[in-house]
Homo-oligomer: A and B are copies of this chain.
């Protein structure tokens, strides 16, 4: 299928990578998105990034058989339209066609989490597993499913929004979606930081109080919670345990619906690692029928930064070849 370009168009950055047909990332470049300048500006930037990437790699445009891009939000992958992406402030943007117009290369788009899961399923930690559930723990929490190399979409291409599982008994926060108690208000990098801040504001004793005594605790991040956890800080331990247990509860419902062989976990929040995964696994095992648990492997993403680019590229290559 020749060479491929995979892209991750996020609210903060655009990453653009050259990928071979085996899913090896050969080169990548990254620029800030500057979404506030509008979609035309972003597409022009994408055009120049592709040009730069190819020059850098000494590859002519004619060697590229397809371009794939993952964008956040609701996507119509068949029509190639970004229906709604809050981070980019895009609504009904014909992303695939805009990229194709500027390059002359067949272009395809999909949801960024689906592309991440696809990348890990075909060329990452979940390679060789038939039924893969991928989750990304970032600003939010989302999931996607890949069965024998085929993505699961559901009606409106909306399947898998595990971040909007509600746990009203355990989660007091109002979510951006309008509901109260959504899992992603807790089980996300933002959510872990938020819980720690709330405990500190409630007067709980923590090493985090010291670290932020000269700065607003508004700047506290999930990485700070991880560092405090490693010192045995009780607030950090409580946040990780609470988050891990709720994530385990949510995964139990997801596993019962999809029956995956493998759960692969990525996104910035996954850097919490075993601090989060140990209570998550314990709760999941307890909350799911043993027949599911026994066939289940759980792993951290292999291409933690690049799975989305690799997935976008390979998915586009496959779609270009089969249409």
| CB<8 Å pairs between A and B, sample of 6 | A155-B295, A156-B259, A158-B291, A160-B257, A161-B292, A257-B258
Contacts of A256 in B (CB 8 A): 160-162, 164-165
Q: Is the CB of B259 within 8 A of A178?
A: no
Q: Is the CB of A159 within 8 A of B258?
A: yes
Question: What residue in chain B is nearest A154 (Cβ atoms)?
Answer: B259
Is A43 part of the binding interface, using a Cβ–Cβ cutoff of 8 Å? Answer: no
Is A290 part of the binding interface, using a Cβ–Cβ cutoff of 8 Å? Answer: yes
Known: A257-B257, A290-B178. Is A154-B147 also a contact (CB below 8 A)? Answer: yes
Is A260 part of the binding interface, using a Cβ–Cβ cutoff of 8 Å? Answer: yes
Instruction: Indicate which residue in B74, B131, B162, B179 contacts A257 across the interface (CB closer than 8 Å).
Output: B162
Is A252 part of the binding interface, using a Cβ–Cβ cutoff of 8 Å? Answer: yes
| A284 nearest CB across to chain B (Å) | 11
Is A211 part of the binding interface, using a Cβ–Cβ cutoff of 8 Å? Answer: no
Which residue numbers of A lie inside 8 Å of B, CB to CB? 74, 130-131, 143, 147, 152-162, 164-166, 168-169, 177-179, 252-254, 256-261, 287-292, 295
Instruction: Indicate which residue in B158, B162, B289 contacts A259 across the interface (CB closer than 8 Å).
Output: B158
Q: Is the CB of B259 within 8 A of A257?
A: no
Cα distance, A179 to B159, chains bound together (Å): 27
Question: What residue in chain B is nearest A259 (Cβ atoms)?
Answer: B154
Q: Is the CB of A155 within 8 A of B169?
A: no
Question: What residue in chain B is nearest A166 (Cβ atoms)?
Answer: B287
| A210 nearest CB across to chain B (Å) | 36
Contacts of A291 in B (CB 8 A): 74, 156, 158
Question: What residue in chain B is nearest A161 (Cβ atoms)?
Answer: B256
Contacts of A159 in B (CB 8 A): 257-259
Cα distance, A164 to B252, chains bound together (Å): 10
Question: What residue in chain B is nearest A286 (Cβ atoms)?
Answer: B179
Instruction: Indicate which residue in B152, B261, B287 contacts A155 across the interface (CB closer than 8 Å).
Output: B261
Contacts of A153 in B (CB 8 A): 259
Cα distance, A74 to B156, chains bound together (Å): 30
| A148 nearest CB across to chain B (Å) | 10
Q: Is the CB of A155 within 8 A of B131?
A: yes
| A43 nearest CB across to chain B (Å) | 26
Known: A156-B259, A160-B257, A254-B257. 12 other contacts (CB 8 A): A131-B154, A153-B259, A154-B260, A157-B259, A158-B259, A158-B291, A159-B259, A160-B259, A161-B289, A161-B292, A168-B287, A179-B289
Q: Is the CB of B260 within 8 A of A155?
A: yes
Question: What residue in chain B is nearest A260 (Cβ atoms)?
Answer: B155
Cα distance, A34 to B121, chains bound together (Å): 46
Known: A154-B131, A169-B169. Is A290-B257 also a contact (CB below 8 A)? Answer: no
